[in-house]
Chain A
Amino acid sequence: MRKRIGHTEIEVNDEGYLIDFSQWTKEIGECIADENGICLTDRHWEVINYIHEKFQKDEPLSIRGIKKSGVINIKEFYQLFPGGPLKKATMIAGIPKPKSCI
């Protein structure tokens, strides 16, 4: 599925997750956040940067990882990305949502 953001066209899956991370830009992140009713602050960006670091190292994301990251505590993580914080944060960061095998 193609989607237009500003002047760029990106590819997303049925749920709105980017298919190719190389298409991600800060602007795209802001637009996706906006659609989810989230206005990105510096705190949000710190979390997104941490998510990108984990993604580039091929390490799975988890609530435990967030807790141990030193970047943010869980209560604040829920406040920043209400209603499924890992799901929303990964969508804004342009990476796949955490999955199981089926």
Chain B
Amino acid sequence: MKNLVILGAGTSGTIMANHLYNQLPKKSWSITIVDQYKTHYYQPGFLFLPFDIYTTKQVKKNGKKFIPKGVDYLQQRIEQIIPEKQTVLLEQGDKLSYDILIIATGTKIAPEEVEGMAGPMWYKNIFDFYTYEGAKALRDKLRKWEGGKLVVHITEMPIKCPVAPLEFAFLADSYFKNKGIRDKVEITFVTPLGGAFTKPKATKALHYLLEEKGINEVTDFNIERVDYKNNKIIDYADTAVAYDLLVTVPTNMGDAFIERSGMGDDLNFVPTDKATLQTRAHKNIFAIGDATNLPTSKAGSVAHFEAEILTENILRYIDGKPLKAEFDGHANCFVETGNGKALLIDFNYTHEPVEGTFPFPGVGPLQLLKESRTNHMGKMAFRWVYWNMLIKGVHIPFISAKMSKKGKRFEEVR
């Protein structure tokens, strides 16, 4: 009997468990998945939780429900991988040996990386919304907040779901308008990049959103510390931005066990071949989703597309065939713009988001890079798709792992 071990039962790990359980011969392969947490969160919902659009119940379920019964599910903390011995050490001293290993442990926020961020004001007037706890605490804060300076801030790249902070700013605008206190709130978007939008087409098509909603933009801001006593964030050029309420996306890092295993980069992300998903250091270790260092977005749609190609490559690896270098960085994301509207973007390693229709060329019904109510309905419907199809590895009709160029107005990114 051979062992395939999946580390992490989030979006990527759960999809892989489902795919591989269906594809690997059950007589010769056993599959084990390890995750220290019991709850599986619908992470896109963390954006809506602070604004009371989703309830807590809508964003969490028992993770075990989504893992096939024939897969061993171990709820333990991962201590370390020892690649030389093809072994994973678990918290309680258990050892797990593997023939093939898949790292799917994602990314988590590390507010302690910035001085003053995770200090005494954390969850008082400094919040994240990338965790269940953060999003819920922020919801409670917003319910009674009477206005002032709201700063939406990105600490450093890369982050999970790079558009989420911008969506947060848009939804905040709507939220305060509906509450009738928009005139009492000043919204400022602070980014380390050159703009809220960084790609020429998106900037041209979408910059009006910031102007329309009266959102200020502070760019090229590389935070050095949070001066929580005086409610200011300060960057390396000594520029200060004052806040009454700071909603930050802290540094994103891979799991600490990656560092303990000596397998990560500066941010504990695993160096991975961007087309095959095999790790650079070990042929029998693969990585998927946010845990990799791939130059694409850290997003559930990416994990979903990667899973199809990784499944095929694992089968090829077992058969001793060359791996398919097929992953093209495909991502497909809804972007909430407030007032019941959303945009849709579709892009990969070489093509930036463009205008067009999706998934049917020339028909839609979804429109790329344009605000519409239909796109918003799409985003809302996606929660059902996520729980019922995506993580169970059920194929989503008309949407392929590799990006389709039909019905889109392209120019090659160079």
Partner of B193, one of A13, A20, A65, A100: A100
Query: Do B295 and A58 have beta carbons less than 8 Å apart?
Result: yes
10 A-B pairs whose Cβ atoms sit less than 8 Å apart in the complex: A62-B266, A63-B236, A74-B224, A82-B237, A86-B220, A87-B194, A100-B193, A101-B353, A102-B162, A102-B197
Partner of B206, one of A19, A59, A102: A102
In whole angstroms, what is the CA distance A101 to B333 when docked? 10
Interfacial chain A residues near B224, Cβ < 8 Å: 74
A6 within 8 A of B: no
B28 within 8 A of A: no
B353 nearest CB neighbor, chain A only: A102
B146 within 8 A of A: no
In whole angstroms, what is the CA distance A100 to B157 when docked? 8
A45 within 8 A of B: no
A14 within 8 A of B: yes
In whole angstroms, what is the CA distance A82 to B236 when docked? 11
Query: Do B236 and A74 have beta carbons less than 8 Å apart?
Result: yes
Query: Do A102 and B345 have beta carbons less than 8 Å apart?
Result: yes
Contact A100 to B198, CB < 8 A, known contacts A62-B157, A63-B156, A63-B222: yes
Query: Do B194 and A60 have beta carbons less than 8 Å apart?
Result: no
CB distance from B220 to the nearest CB of A (A): 4
Apart from A86-B220, A100-B199, A102-B197, what 8 extra A-B contacts exist at CB < 8 Å? A19-B414, A60-B158, A62-B266, A74-B222, A82-B237, A98-B193, A98-B194, A101-B353
Query: Do B347 and A62 have beta carbons less than 8 Å apart?
Result: no
B323 within 8 A of A: no
B contacts, CB < 8 Å to A: 156-158, 162-163, 192-194, 197-200, 202, 206, 219-220, 222, 224, 236-237, 251, 265-267, 274, 293, 295, 297, 331, 333, 335, 345, 347, 352-353, 414
Partner of A83, one of B156, B162, B220: B220
* Per-position 1/0 for A12-52, Cβ under 8 A of B: 01100001100000000000000000000000000000000
A99 within 8 A of B: yes
Number of interface residues of A (CB under 8 A): 27
Query: Do B194 and A97 have beta carbons less than 8 Å apart?
Result: yes
In whole angstroms, what is the CA distance A68 to B264 when docked? 15
CB distance from B152 to the nearest CB of A (A): 14
Query: Do B156 and A101 have beta carbons less than 8 Å apart?
Result: no
Q: How many inter-chain residue pairs (CB < 8 Å) link A and B?
A: 77
| Most chain B beta carbons < 10 A, residue from A77, A84, A100 | A100
In whole angstroms, what is the CA distance A75 to B293 when docked? 27
CB distance from B246 to the nearest CB of A (A): 19
Query: Do A101 and B162 have beta carbons less than 8 Å apart?
Result: yes
* Per-position 1/0 for A61-102, Cβ under 8 A of B: 011110010000011011000111011000000000111111
A65 nearest CB neighbor, chain B only: B266
Query: Do A14 and B200 have beta carbons less than 8 Å apart?
Result: yes
Interfacial chain B residues near A86, Cβ < 8 Å: 220, 222
Which 8 residue pairs of A and B lie closest in terms of their CB atoms, listed nearest first? A102-B202, A84-B220, A99-B198, A100-B162, A63-B222, A100-B198, A101-B297, A74-B236
CB distance from B193 to the nearest CB of A (A): 6
Interfacial chain B residues near A68, Cβ < 8 Å: 266
In whole angstroms, what is the CA distance A93 to B156 when docked? 21
Interfacial chain B residues near A87, Cβ < 8 Å: 194, 220
Interfacial chain B residues near A60, Cβ < 8 Å: 157-158, 295
CB distance from A20 to the nearest CB of B (A): 7
In whole angstroms, what is the CA distance A13 to B267 when docked? 31
Query: Do A98 and B157 have beta carbons less than 8 Å apart?
Result: yes
In whole angstroms, what is the CA distance A84 to B414 when docked? 22
Query: Do B265 and A59 have beta carbons less than 8 Å apart?
Result: yes
Query: Do B200 and A13 have beta carbons less than 8 Å apart?
Result: yes
In whole angstroms, what is the CA distance A60 to B331 when docked? 18
A63 nearest CB neighbor, chain B only: B222
Query: Do A99 and B193 have beta carbons less than 8 Å apart?
Result: yes
CB distance from B291 to the nearest CB of A (A): 16
Contact A99 to B414, CB < 8 A, known contacts A62-B157, A63-B192, A74-B236: no
B203 nearest CB neighbor, chain A only: A102
| Most chain B beta carbons < 10 A, residue from A60, A74, A84, A102 | A102
In whole angstroms, what is the CA distance A21 to B216 when docked? 34
A69 nearest CB neighbor, chain B only: B266
In whole angstroms, what is the CA distance A102 to B297 when docked? 10
Query: Do A102 and B157 have beta carbons less than 8 Å apart?
Result: no
